[in-house]
A and B are shown apart, each in its own frame.
Chain A
Amino acid sequence: MALIGQALLVLALATALYGIGASLYGARAGKEAWIASGRRSMYALLGLAAFAFGILEWAFIASDFTFNVVAQHSATTIPAFYRGAAPWSSQQGSLLLWVLLLSLWSSLALHLTRRRLRPVVPYATAVLLGLGAFFTLLMVFYSNPFATTTPAPTQGAGLDPLLMHPTMMFHPPMLYTGYTMLAIPFAFAVGALITRQVGADWVRMIRRFALAAWLFLGIGIVLGALWSYTELGWGGYWGWDPVENAALMPWLTSTAFIHSIMIQEKRGMLKVWNALLVLLSGVLAIFGTFLVRSGVLDSIHAFGGSTLGVPFVILLGVMLAGSIYLVSSRREALRTEHRLDSLLSREAIFLFQNLVLVGMVFVIFWVTMFPLISQALTGTKVSVGPPAFRPFIVPLALILVALAGIGPIIAWRRATLANLRRNFSFPAALALITLAVLLAVSDAASRPFSLAMFVLGAFVLAGVAQELYRGASARRAITHDPLPLALLGLVRRNRRRYGGYIVHAGIAVLLIGVAGSSFQHSNQVSLRPGQSTYVDGYRFTYVRPTASATSERIELGAVLSVSKDGRHVTTLHTDQGFYPVNNPSYGAIGRFFQPGNADTQVGLDSGLTRNIWTVVSPPLSSIEPYIAQGDRRFNAAMMQAAKMPPAQAQRFLGVLYQLRDAAVFAIIRHYVSQPAPATFLLIVAPLVIWLWIGAALAAVGGVIALLPLPAPARRRASAPYPVGLVREPA
C-alpha cells in the first residue's frame, strides 16, 4: 500500500504541473479546451489526494507500523478515534491533509466558476495548482508520508498524551480548512489583477470563501484556546505563542476584508486596499504554515526537527514579490470610482475598523518576529513576550469593539444628526447605565480597560438588539406574524446582514468574557488532606488523594471540596495521568511514573458568573524511594533471568511481570494511604464561560451569513400589494 501511496503522490505532482501548464496555455491562447483541462486537473488532484489520504488513514487505523509515520505517531493501545486523527499530528500527514483540503475547496470554487469569470479563472487555477504542487513536492522530496521500514516494529511510539483530547483532534483540520480556503481569494485576486478584471465580480465570487475561511479559522483558534484551558494545566486560554499568533493574523486580515469588500461591492471604493488585504491574507496563511514547520521561533509547539523552512521562505518570497508587483503595476485599473463622502458614515467606520485590524496584525507580527528582528539588527536574540502585546492590543481591541457597535447602526454615505439621534440613543443609554451599575456594585473600576470593554460590549449588544427588534417589528407590520416568527423570517431573508450582526454580538460577548477573566484570583498552595485555603472567598479543602490504574495510564489525583460562606458549592476531582514509557533506562517501575509523559485533568466547575478551576501536582517525592527500590530489585532479577536457560527464563519473567504489576499497585496504594502534601493551582475566574458562549454565537452568525438565500429572497423584492402611483403632470 505504501508503494501505491508514493505512486499517487508522484502522479499528483505530475497532474498539478500539467494543470498549471494547461491553464496558462489555455488563457494565453484563448483555448477553452485547455482551460477546462486545467480545471479537471484540479479535480484529478483531489481524487489522488483523497486516495492517498485514505491509504494513510487505513495505515493508522490498522496500526501498520511498516509506515514510518504510523510507527512514530501511533500505537495499538491508542483508542481508535485518536488513531484515526493521528495522521495530522505528524508533519507528513498534515502536509497531505493540506493538499487534500486545498484541492477540495479549489475544486468547489472552480466548479462554481466554470461558466463565470472566464478570463480570471485559468490564472486562479494555475495559482491553486501551483500551491498544490508545492505541498506535493514537499511530500515527494522532503517529508514522505509513505516512507517505510522493514522489518516493522511490533509497537509504535504513540501519540503525545497532550494531543489525546477531543478538541485537539478537530482543531488542526479546522485551521487547515481556514488556511486552505484563504488560498482561493488569493488565487482569484492574482487572476483578477493579471487580467485587470478588478471590478466587483471577482470580489462577489470569493466573498463566500473568504467568509468560510474566516469562520473555520476562528473555530480552529477557539478550539485551540479551549484545549489550552482544559488540558494544558496552566489556567489560561491564550498565551501569545508564535503559532497561536500565526493563526490569528490571517483571521484578523480576513475579518478586515469581509467588511471592506462590502464597500467595493456597494460603492466601487477601496479596490487597492481589498486586493492588498486578500493577498496579505493568503501570504499570512502560508506564513502560519511556515512558522509551524520551520522552527525559526521558540514555541511550545516545538517544530525544531523540521527541515521545510527554506522551501517555505522561497514560496513566501515569490508570493510577496508577485503580490507587490501586481498591485503596483495595476494601480491605474484599481483606481477608486468614488470618494469617501463623510467620516460620519458606515464606509468610514469600516475603513477605521480595517485600519485598526491591520494595526493589530502589525503589532502581533512585530512582537512575534522580534526575536529574529533583534537578532538581525543587533546580533542578540531578544524576546518581549506576552506583556508587550497588551499595551497595544487592548486599546486597539477597545476601539474595534466600539466600531463594531457603531458600524451596523450608522448610515451609509453620510449620517445626519437625526440618524445619529435615532440609532444611537438606546445603545448609548444602555452603555451608560451599564457603566453606572458596574461602578456602583462592583470593583470593575480597578481595571479601567476591562470596565471599558464591559461598557462597549453593552453598547454593541444594545445596537444589535435594536436593529433586530426594528427589523422584526417592520416585518411583523407586513406579515402580521408573532415577533419571534417575524424575527426568524427577517434573519432568513437577510442572512448576510443579520448573520453579521449576530457575529458582532458574539464577538462582544466573547470579549466581555475575556475582560471578565482578567479579574481572576489564583493561589498556588501546598496542602495536606484535611487542610483548607481560601481563594476569592471560596474555601478549598483537600479531602483525599486518589489513585487508579488502567491499561493505559496511572492517575494520581485529589478530591477537593469547595464551599463559600459555609455552604457547599462543588466537589472537584483533578489528577495527573502518567503514561508508561517503553524505555528500560527509566527502570521497570520508574517507567510508569515519568512526569514528562503525563497529562493533567483539570477539575472544573463552570458557571455563568464564575469558573472554579483546579489542578494538582501529585507529590511523587513520597513514592520515589519505593520506585527506586523496586527498580533496583527488578534490575537484579532481570540480570538473574539473563543467566537462566530460555524456557526457565520465560517462566521466571512471567512471574516477574506479575510481581511488577503488584508492585505498581502497592506503590499507588501507598500514595493514597500515606498521603504527602500535594501542590495545587486554584483559580476562581469570573465570566470565562461567556468567552465560549460568545464564540459559539459568532460561529452561528457566521454560518447564517454563509448560507445561500432561499430562492424567493434572491428574486427582486416586490410589494405584496399594488402601490398607487402619483400621476405625473401632463
Chain B
Amino acid sequence: MDPNRKRAIRLTVALTAALVLATSLIWVSFSAGREDLTASQLLKRAEPGHSYILAGTVEPGSVRRDGPVLYFRVMDPKLPETVAVRYTGQVPDPFAPGRGVLVSVTAPRSEGGTFVAQPNSLTTKCPSKYQVAEPSRRQTRVTKLESAVKDY
C-alpha cells in the first residue's frame, strides 16, 4: 500500500478513536453529573427524589446520633439557611461542627423534610493543611493528663 495512504488511514483511525473517547466523556459528564449546591440553592431547586451534592459547613449544635444514624444540619456559606441531613455509614474522623463537608443527598418528598444522604457519601475537609482556621476552632493539645497511662 502507498505509505502516504497508509499514514492517512492510521491518522483517521486515531482521530476517530480520540473523537469517540472525547464525545463519550462529555456525554457521561453531563448526563451523570450532579449539581454541587449550597444549602440555600438546594432549598430553592431541589425536586423530590432527585440527588444532589450538598456543600457547606456543619452547623454547631446540630449534630445528633441515634444508633448508627447521624443527624446534622449543613449551613449555607453566606445566607442564614440550613438543610437537615440524615446520614448512615462511615463518618470521617475530622467530621465535627463547624467543618466543611460534602455529602450526596436525595431531596425529601415533603417540603421542609430531612434530606436523606447516600450511605458512605460524607466527605469532610481536612482541617489543618494549608489553612489557618479561626481561633475558636483551633485544636490544641491540652496540658497532659496528670494521671499515668492507665489501661482498662
A367 on the B face (CB < 8 A): yes
Name A299's closest neighbour in chain B (CB-CB).
B125
B113 on the A face (CB < 8 A): no
Complex contacts, A580 vs chain B, CB 8 Å: 141-142
B93 CB to nearest A CB, Å: 5
Q: Are B141 and A382 in contact (CB under 8 A)?
A: no
Complex: A72 Cα to B28 Cα, angstroms? 43
Q: Are A370 and B128 in contact (CB under 8 A)?
A: no
Complex contacts, A585 vs chain B, CB 8 Å: 136
B110 on the A face (CB < 8 A): no
Complex contacts, B145 vs chain A, CB 8 Å: 549-551, 661, 664
Q: Are B141 and A582 in contact (CB under 8 A)?
A: yes
- Flag the segment in A122-130, A386-394, A562-570 that touches B: A386-394
A142 on the B face (CB < 8 A): no
Q: Mark A584-626, 1 if CB is under 8 A from B, else 0.
A: 0100000110111111100000000000000101001100000
B108 on the A face (CB < 8 A): no
Interface residues of B in 17-59 (CB under 8 A from A): 18, 21-22, 24-25, 28-30, 32-36, 53, 55
Instruction: Known A302-B127, A596-B94; judge A371-B142 contact (CB<8 A).
Output: no
Q: Are B35 and A381 in contact (CB under 8 A)?
A: yes
B8 on the A face (CB < 8 A): no
A383 on the B face (CB < 8 A): yes
Q: Are A359 and B21 in contact (CB under 8 A)?
A: yes
A125 CB to nearest B CB, Å: 31
Complex contacts, A119 vs chain B, CB 8 Å: none
Q: Are B93 and A524 in contact (CB under 8 A)?
A: no
Q: Are A233 and B68 in contact (CB under 8 A)?
A: no
Complex contacts, B24 vs chain A, CB 8 Å: 391-392
B149 on the A face (CB < 8 A): yes
- Flag the segment in A41-49, A303-311, A315-323, A693-701 that touches B: A303-311
Q: Are B29 and A305 in contact (CB under 8 A)?
A: no
B90 CB to nearest A CB, Å: 5
Complex contacts, B150 vs chain A, CB 8 Å: 548-549, 665
A216 on the B face (CB < 8 A): no
Q: Say which residue of B30, B67, B140, B152 sits within 8 Å of A157 (CB atoms).
A: B140
By size class, the interface of chain B is 35 or more
Complex contacts, A435 vs chain B, CB 8 Å: none
Identify the interface centre among A367, A382, A664: most chain B CB within 10 Å of its CB.
A382
A358 CB to nearest B CB, Å: 10
Instruction: Known A374-B33, A546-B152, A597-B139; judge A303-B67 contact (CB<8 A).
Output: no
Q: Are B68 and A526 in contact (CB under 8 A)?
A: yes
Complex contacts, A146 vs chain B, CB 8 Å: none
Identify the interface centre among B30, B33, B34, B96: most chain A CB within 10 Å of its CB.
B33
A378 CB to nearest B CB, Å: 9
Complex: A392 Cα to B149 Cα, angstroms? 52
A426 on the B face (CB < 8 A): no
Complex: A547 Cα to B151 Cα, angstroms? 7
Q: Are A620 and B65 in contact (CB under 8 A)?
A: yes
- Flag the segment in A160-168, A271-279, A465-473, A533-541 that touches B: A160-168
Q: Are A75 and B141 in contact (CB under 8 A)?
A: yes
Instruction: Known A300-B124, A548-B152, A679-B68; judge A583-B140 contact (CB<8 A).
Output: yes
Name B89's closest neighbour in chain A (CB-CB).
A524
Complex contacts, A598 vs chain B, CB 8 Å: 93
Q: Say which residue of A156, A362, A374, A552 sits within 8 Å of B144 (CB atoms).
A: A552
Q: Say which residue of B25, B55, B125, B146 sits within 8 Å of A658 (CB atoms).
A: B146
Name B99's closest neighbour in chain A (CB-CB).
A596
Q: Are A596 and B152 in contact (CB under 8 A)?
A: no
Q: Say which residue of A161, A300, A387 sits within 8 Å of B123 (CB atoms).
A: A300
Complex: A667 Cα to B65 Cα, angstroms? 19
B53 CB to nearest A CB, Å: 5
A705 on the B face (CB < 8 A): no
Q: Are B36 and A371 in contact (CB under 8 A)?
A: yes
Instruction: Known A384-B28, A388-B28, A388-B32; judge A301-B138 contact (CB<8 A).
Output: no
Complex: A392 Cα to B28 Cα, angstroms? 10
> How many residue pairs bridge A and B at CB < 8 Å?
222
By size class, the interface of chain A is 35 or more
Instruction: Known A366-B25, A380-B35, A576-B93; judge A582-B125 contact (CB<8 A).
Output: no
A290 on the B face (CB < 8 A): no
Q: Are B33 and A157 in contact (CB under 8 A)?
A: no
A419 CB to nearest B CB, Å: 21
Complex contacts, B137 vs chain A, CB 8 Å: 583
Complex contacts, A371 vs chain B, CB 8 Å: 36
B13 CB to nearest A CB, Å: 10
B68 CB to nearest A CB, Å: 5
Complex: A47 Cα to B21 Cα, angstroms? 48
Name A92's closest neighbour in chain B (CB-CB).
B130
Q: Are B28 and A306 in contact (CB under 8 A)?
A: no
B12 on the A face (CB < 8 A): no
Complex contacts, A382 vs chain B, CB 8 Å: 29-30, 33-36
Q: Are B93 and A599 in contact (CB under 8 A)?
A: yes
Complex contacts, A599 vs chain B, CB 8 Å: 93
Complex contacts, B125 vs chain A, CB 8 Å: 298-302, 304
Interface residues of A in 354-385 (CB under 8 A from B): 355, 359, 362-363, 366-367, 370-371, 373-374, 380-385
A672 on the B face (CB < 8 A): yes
Complex: A382 Cα to B51 Cα, angstroms? 12
Q: Are B126 and A383 in contact (CB under 8 A)?
A: no
Complex: A355 Cα to B16 Cα, angstroms? 13
Name B53's closest neighbour in chain A (CB-CB).
A383
A77 on the B face (CB < 8 A): yes
In addition to A355-B14, A380-B35, A391-B28, 13 A-B residue pairs with Cβ atoms within 8 Å of each other are: A157-B140, A158-B141, A232-B93, A292-B130, A366-B25, A392-B28, A524-B88, A549-B145, A549-B149, A582-B139, A582-B141, A595-B91, A668-B152
> What are some 21 contacts across the A-B interface (CB < 8 A)?
A91-B129, A159-B128, A163-B128, A234-B92, A299-B125, A300-B124, A300-B125, A300-B126, A302-B100, A305-B130, A305-B131, A359-B21, A371-B36, A374-B29, A374-B30, A383-B36, A384-B34, A385-B34, A392-B24, A524-B120, A550-B149
Closest CB pairs A-B (n = 3): A596-B96, A305-B131, A302-B125
Chain B contact residues, CB within 8 Å of chain A: 3, 7, 10, 14, 18, 21-22, 24-25, 28-30, 32-36, 53, 55, 65-68, 88-100, 102, 119-120, 123-133, 136-142, 144-147, 149-152
Chain A contact residues, CB within 8 Å of chain B: 72-73, 75, 77-78, 89-91, 94, 155-163, 232-235, 292-293, 298-306, 339, 343, 355, 359, 362-363, 366-367, 370-371, 373-374, 380-385, 387-388, 391-392, 524, 526, 546-552, 576, 579-583, 585, 591-592, 594-600, 615, 617, 620-621, 657-658, 661-662, 664-665, 668-669, 672, 677, 679, 681
